[in-house]
Structure 1
Amino acid sequence: MTRSVQQPITKDVTSPQELVVVDDLHVRFPVSQGVVHAVRGVSFTIGRGETVALVGESGSGKSTTGFALIRRYTPAEGTISFEGRDITGVKGRELRRLRSDMQLVFQDPYASLNPRMRVRDLVAEPLLVHGRAKPGPALDAEVGDLLEMCGLPRDAAQRHPNAFSGGERQRIAIARALALRPKLLVADEVVSALDVSIKAQIINLLVELQRTHGLAYLFISHDLAVVRNVAHRVMIMYAGRIVETGPTGSIFTAPRHPYSVALLSAAPVADPVAERARERVVLTGDVPSVLDPPAGCPFHSRCPLVVDRCRVEAPPLADRGDGHLTACWRADEVAALPAAHTLDRAPEGHP
Structure 2
Amino acid sequence: MTATGVDAVVRDLLADIETLVRCESPSSDHEAVARSADVVAALGRRLLDAEPERVVVDGSTHLRWRLGGTPRVLLLGHHDTVWPIGSLETHPYSVRDGVLRGPGCFDMKAGVVMALHAAASVRDRAGLSILITGDEEVGSPSSRRLIEEEARGCDAVFVLEASADGGALKCRRKGVSLYRIDVEGRAAHAGLEAEKGVNAGVEIAHQILAVAMLTDPERGTSVVPTALSAGTTTNTVPARASVALDVRAWDPAEQRRVDRSVRELRPVLADARIRISGGINRPPLHAEASSGLFGLAASLAESLGLGALTSAAVGGASDGNLTAGLGIPTLDGLGAVGGGAHADDEHVVVAELPRRTALLAALIQAVTDGANAHGTAPATDADTADTADTAGATGATSPR
- What TM-score, normalized by structure 2, do the two folds share? 0.28
